[in-house]
Amino acid sequence: MALTTDPATVSDGTSTFVVTAQPVASAIVVTANSFLWSAAPGQTFLVDNVTVQNPTSNPEPLSGFDDPASGLATDLDFVMPATDAGASGFSSDCGADPGYPADVCPITFGEGLVVDSNSAAHAGTADETLAPGSSAQISVSYGPVSGTVPAGKVSLSFHHGATAPAAL
């Protein structure tokens, strides 16, 4: 899984999106659902900002990028090379999801990424859709994790069900 800011076309089996992710960064404070969260000394949050575009002529649900029921981006994972996972405390995540190759560890496996903000969110609705041709800015975070986790070694991946993970 290479670090990239190039757009990637991904599908959840029914909807198709063009996604661009920024490089993963670390932060000691995040704002999720209007709440300010701060990491303890020696810890940080891993954060990323993604642009999700709907290239189709139909409204498309954003549920894999922002599930209003859970507040998670269920189809997004932070991943890191297996060679770095042990030193960062994530070696038990390697191989946990058979969809990922052995050299990639989904460090958020089983927990998911928290959606900090979504420009397409509609207040008071449980259904978030992206209009044809439009895009949304979605910020996600994970943590807190040890401040020694190198954010530069972490990247974002899209993985839905049986589909192969796609590096973002």
Tokens representing residue 18 in the block: 């063009």
Q: CA-CA distances (angstroms) from residue 15 to 25, 52, 67, 131?
A: 28, 12, 15, 12
Tell me: the pLDDT tens digits for 78-91? 999 999 998 888 88
**Alpha carbon of 145 to those of 83, 106, 111, 122: distances in Å?**
18, 14, 13, 31
Phi, psi of 35 (to 5 degrees): -105, 135
Residue 4 pLDDT > 70: no
The answer to whether the CB of 18 falls within 8 A of the CB of 28 is no
Condensed to tens digits (0 to 9), the pLDDT of residues 124-163 reads: 555 688 999 999 999 999 999 999 999 999 999 999 877 7
Lowest mean per-residue pLDDT among 24-28, 56-60, 90-94 = 90-94
Q: pLDDT (tens digit, 9 = 90+) per residue, 99-132?
A: 899 899 999 876 789 999 888 876 555 568 899 9
- CA end-to-end span of the chain: 8
The answer to whether domain 8-160 has CATH 2.60.40 is: yes
Given a cut of 70, whether residue 56 has pLDDT beyond it is: yes
Confidence class of residue 34 from pLDDT cuts 50, 70 and 90? Answer: confident
Where are the domains positioned within the chain?
A: 8-160
Neighbours of 131 (CB within 10 A): 12
Q: So what's the pLDDT on residue 124? A: 52
Q: Which of 113, 114, 109 is nearest to 90 (CA)?
A: 109
pLDDT at 2 over 70: no
Q: What is the pLDDT of residue 1?
A: 41
AA letter at 121: A
Tokens read off for 113: 């990424």
